[in-house]
Amino acid sequence: MSLLEKATAAAKQWLNEPSIDETTKIEVREMLDAPDSKKLIDSFYKHLEFGTGGLRGVMGVGSNCINKYTIGGATQGLANYLKKAFPNQSIKVAIAFDSRNNSQSLAQITANVFAANGIHVFLFPELRPTPLLSFAIRHLQCQSGVVITASHNPKEYNGYKAYWKDGAQLVPPHDKNVIEEVNAIAGFDQIRFSGNESNIVLIGKEVEEAYYAIVKKLIPSQAIIQKQKDIPIVFSGIHGTGNTMVPECLRLLGFENCSVVQEQAQPNGNFPTVASPNPEEQSAMQMALALAKASNAELVMATDPDADRVGIGIKNSHGEFFLLNGNQAFSLMIWFLLRNLKDRDNPYIAKTIVTTELVDTMAKNFKVDCYNTLTGFKYIADLIGTLEGKKSFIAAGEESYGYMVGDFVRDKDAVSACAFFATMAAVAKNEGATLYDWLIQIYIDYGFYKEGLINIVRKGADGAQQIKTMMDNFRNNPPKTLNDEKITRILDYQSSIELDVLTGESKKIDLPQSNVLQYYTASNTKVSIRPSGTEPKIKFYVSVVAALKDKADFDSINTKLEAKIKRIEKELTL
């Protein structure tokens, strides 16, 4: 069956559903009657599935879009699964939402469906960061939780992140089991959209207060914060949830000179001041950087709409602001934490397989284990659960601007990360240094690792097929060299096989299967290729390394590594 035939059949099924409102059916009929079938195919050719970030898609009508019915179906499926997983128990869930258009109404629909299924709901009355939802699940002793967000995606997107009782996003087998329950729903009349509204309780300030109390216990060097309490900091929530907690968290720690970008302080799902609300993109940080320059700040921080990612800006040796990438920021955080590590039994850190191996090198030097997981903090959280009671978790991170210190939140957490970066800036200043000085010294001590990232966007059904074809080509016809360096190892996480190209020997990769490829050369050049689990993208991660013997050599070595990355990127995307 062609994609058009699949989409047409699914659309007609919606028209035959008595539970679907007439306004929605009118739009479905318009798609079916339109001479161009692209919108029909993109909206109906498949059902949304849980990826690395849960359910995520463009808002609109259709089985492949975020709307009342797909959110309701996901919630009904999750409710059905919760009843099977926790039989004869009083089931509780927590629900939060961000600043995106329709997030609050979709959160209310989610709450209503759970309540109608006899499940007790704790609902945040106002927008709050995703990490607070993760914290609330364990704090309120819930079996599950949901946050309505599309994280850093463009404004037309929304999503549904589902969490388990450990405060972590769903991992196998739970994610697939929920999908099976969703797919088992024969009609929308099986979704209980209303009833038992008394099961819904609004969450008060006590959850936030408990969160702040734990962050304060985790922060080292608090006496130094008092000495450097006037260090100038600029923060932006980019029209999202960060403003509800980050400035207050910094204030409670003793920071007294945090300026907020007022033009981006109000929640707004259209994100009017940025092309994309993603702090990974320099354009999203421009207002914060401009305010930092005007106010002579030491540190710039900006969070994405649901405040699970944070972008960091610091000054270089010339006093000019530049943006750290996620690998640099995480490396700084890990170095700071490891050098302050005291009285911890069997400590360990964690990161994803596409994150800089500078962190592995530092951990080895400090005699701390570093675990690598698949992309997605749900895998890091799963690792924490596995090692709980056996080893002492310190921190985790990923190259895409997600960080987590301590295990009280089981997802990436920009609120506590902002607290740590502010503390780091204060400690550096107290030592007569800057975060930039620290970064250069890390490169001198452990190697100058530099990374590049290519995102190739391919939207819709055609785009998904193009991405699949690209992955198939790289899997079946891998390059033999990268920048004239012979490839020595190939890791295919889909087949779970690591191949030694030189000897022909292979061994099993002890991680869940995932559609990821990695190539290594003898010079420690590394390329990772993976389709995004949350966006219509295929990603190419390039990592190169060289020795840096002296700070004076930084610019020349940096230029050489940058040129090497560009050559490899060109080879990969010709």
- The β-bridge partners of 322 are 314
Tokens coding 238: 């980019």
Strand duo 258-260 + 369-373: pairing: unpaired
Cis geometry, peptide bond prior to residue 18 (ω within 30 degrees of 0)? no
- Residue 333 bridge partners (DSSP): none
Pairing of strands 157-164, 200-202: unpaired
Half-sphere exposure of 376 (CA within 13 A, CB side): 24
Close Cβ partners of 295 (under 8 Å, ≥ 6 residues apart): 232, 234, 259
- For the four alpha carbons of 111, 112, 113 and 119, in that order, the dihedral sign comes to positive
**Length reported for the chain:** 574
Q: What order of strands is seen across the sheet that includes strand 310-315?
A: 258-260, 233-236, 299-303, 310-315, 321-323
Whole-angstrom distance, CA of residue 480 vs CA of residue 430? 50
User: CB atoms < 10 A from the CB of 454, how many?
Assistant: 17
Does 276 participate in catalysis according to the annotation? Answer: no
Instruction: Determine how many CB atoms are found less than 10 A away from the CB of residue 441.
Output: 14
Q: Which of 43, 99, 134, 151 is catalytic?
A: 151
Q: Which residues of 330-345 are buried (b: 16+ CB within 10 A; e: fewer)?
A: bbbbbbbbbeebeeee
Q: Which two tokens stand for residue 320?
A: 């000019």
User: Are residues 324 and 312 in contact, defined by beta-carbon separation less than 8 angstroms?
Assistant: yes
The C-alpha atoms of residue 71 and residue 112 are separated, in whole angstroms, by 11
As given in the structure block, the two tokens for residue 82 are: 């919760």
- Smallest CA-to-CA distance from 324 within 282, 286, 290, 294 is with 282
Tell me the backbone φ, ψ of residue 520, rounded to 5 degrees: -120, 145
Q: Measure the CA–CA gap between 206 and 188, rounded to whole angstroms.
A: 37
The side-by-side arrangement of strands in the sheet containing 392-398 is: 369-373, 347-352, 392-398, 402-405
Q: Considering only CA atoms, which of 261, 289, 488, 305 is closest in space to residue 401?
A: 305
Alpha-carbon dihedral angle through residues 538, 544, 550, 552, given to the nearest 10 degrees: -50
Longest Cα–Cα distance in the chain = 72
Q: Would you state the structure tokens that stand for residue 53, as one six-digit string? A: 């970030």
Tokens 């999908």 sit on residue: 179
Active site residues: 151
